[in-house]
C-alpha cells in the first residue's frame, strides 16, 4: 500500500486541481492485494464542495491521483 504526495498545484478561476503523484513504491505481486492511494494531508485555504477521486489499482505502480476543488462563487 502506498501513499500519495501533493506534487503540483494548478489554479484557475473555476476550480483548484491537485495532481497527486505516488512515491513509486513497489507493490509485491505475491501479495495479490489491491493497492489504494489515499491523501494523507492537504493544507488548503478553501475546502468548499470537495470532489475526491480515489485511484484503486492492482498494478505494480500507481501514477497519479486527481483531486478537484470546486469553490462556491
State the virtual CA torsion across 24, 25, 29, 31 in degrees, nearest 10: -140
Structural contact between residues 16 and 39, judged by C-beta atoms closer than 8 angstroms: no
DSSP string for 39-58? B-----S---SEEE---EE-
Q: Say what the pLDDT of residue 39 is.
A: 46
pLDDT in tens, 11-40: 444 444 444 444 444 444 443 444 444 444
Domain map (residue ranges) of the chain: 4-69
Distance (Å, rounded) from C-alpha 16 to C-alpha 69? 5
Whole-prediction pTM: 0.15
pLDDT in tens, 44-59: 444 544 454 444 444 5
Amino acid at each position: 500500500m502506498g501513499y500519495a504526495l501533493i506534487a503540483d498545484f494548478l489554479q484557475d478561476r473555476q476550480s483548484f486541481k491537485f495532481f497527486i503523484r505516488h512515491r513509486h513504491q513497489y507493490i509485491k505481486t505475491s501479495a495479490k492485494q489491491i493497492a489504494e492511494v489515499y491523501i494523507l494531508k492537504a493544507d488548503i485555504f478553501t475546502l468548499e464542495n470537495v470532489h475526491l477521486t480515489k485511484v484503486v489499482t492492482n498494478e505494480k505502480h500507481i501514477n497519479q491521483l486527481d483531486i478537484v476543488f470546486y469553490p462556491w462563487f
